[in-house]
Each structure stands twice: as structure tokens, then as C-alpha cells.
Amino acid sequence: MSLVKPRKSTRSTLAERELPEAGGRERLIAAALKLAAEKRSLLALGVRELGRMAGLNPNTFYRHFKSLDELSVAIIDEFAQDLAPALRAIRLSGVPVELVSARTVEYVFDYARQHPEAFIVGVRELHGSSGRLQQAIRARIKLVAAEMSEDILATNGVPGITADMLDELAEPIVEQVFHRTLDYLEEPRRRAELVRRTAHFIDALMTGAVAMKAMNRWD
């Protein structure tokens, strides 16, 4: 058994990420998010402007990433990992069914408040010109939607709704919540209303689908 002490590098641990002396990679990621939220799509950023924003020489970029494409994918991966399990926890938490929508929406919106740039950039790239980034983000949306569907069926959260129906409705719902995070970030005075409206939207969609099925208008 090899007892090799790992080589220490400037790749920071999670704790270090919160320090101003974070490593080059993290500084470039933070710089990219900030610039993409303010200016242009991740893939339209410049290596030199990234370097300036990160307080690094532009060439340092190539020490960590082969391309802007690789940087972009790394960013999406980084932010997509925490959210889905937390949403699932809310849905399986025993919150009264009538409140699940509002609680979930609140959670997502507050998460967006903690990572505003990630959400801004996420929504932007979902509709951007890079098919690859779109697909990466859409895959995450599909995952959240699939879990949501499973949970709703498992808990009988919406009596009368079927897997087929959720197959149609889950993604538009997740997407709508995703979009509304930007409103939530931009309009602090309307926050309570946005939560209420978004929860209404979800509940109305589910309720209507069930009613339409009962009337044989869901084919």
C-alpha cells in the first residue's frame, strides 16, 4: 500500500474558496460569472478581460482550462449539483401538500439570491447560441423535472395526476420557476407576489390537467 502524501497545489478546498486568496481557477470562474452576468455569454468573453477581472495574467487561463467552452461546462456542473437534492428533500419532507409549491418556489428563489450570477447566466445560456450549453442546462432541468414527477407520484401529491401528464408538465414548470428567479432577483419589492404567483401557476397547471383528464380532454 502506497503512502504517498498528496501534492499540495493552489487548487483550493471549499473552505478556501471563501477567502480573497482563492486559487486561480476559482478566481477565473468567479470572474467569468460576473462578466457573463453583466456583459455577454460565457463563450463570448475574452481571455484578457477574464484575466483582468480575476487579477491574473491572461495566460493563466490556459493553465486551468483548454477553452472558454471547458470553463463554461465547469461552471454549469458546479452549480447544478446542490439544487436537485434540496428540492427533493422539500417535496418529501411532509410539508402539507397545498404548501409544497410555495415552499419549493421560495427555496429556489432564495437559493438564487445566494447565487445570483449563476442563475442569471444559467437562464441566459439556456436560450443562448451555444447548443452545448443549452443541452447541459436543459439536462439539469430535465433531471429536476423527473425527480419532481417521481416525488409527486410517490406521495400522491396531486391526486388524479398520471406519469403521462407529468411527462408534459414537469419541465415547463421547472423552466417557469427558473425564469422567474430572475424577476425575483430584479424586483425585490415584488418578491412575495412573485412567490405567490409562481406557486399559483404550478397549482393551476396541475389542477387544470387533472380536471381536463376527468373531462376526457387530456389525450
Binder of residue 23, out of a second copy, DNA, none (CB less than 5 to 8 A by kind): DNA
9 counts as binding DNA under rule CB under 7 A: yes
Binder of residue 157, out of a second copy, DNA, none (CB less than 5 to 8 A by kind): none
Site string for DNA, 18-57 (x = CB under 7 A): -----xxx-------------------xxxxx-x---xxx
Q: How far apart are CA 9 and CA 27, in angstroms?
A: 15
Binder of residue 6, out of a second copy, DNA, none (CB less than 5 to 8 A by kind): DNA
Smallest distance from a second copy to CB 136, Å: 16
190 counts as binding DNA under rule CB under 7 A: no
Based on CB atoms, which residue is closest to a second copy, 26 or 45?
A: 45
Q: What grid cell was written down for 153?
A: 407520484
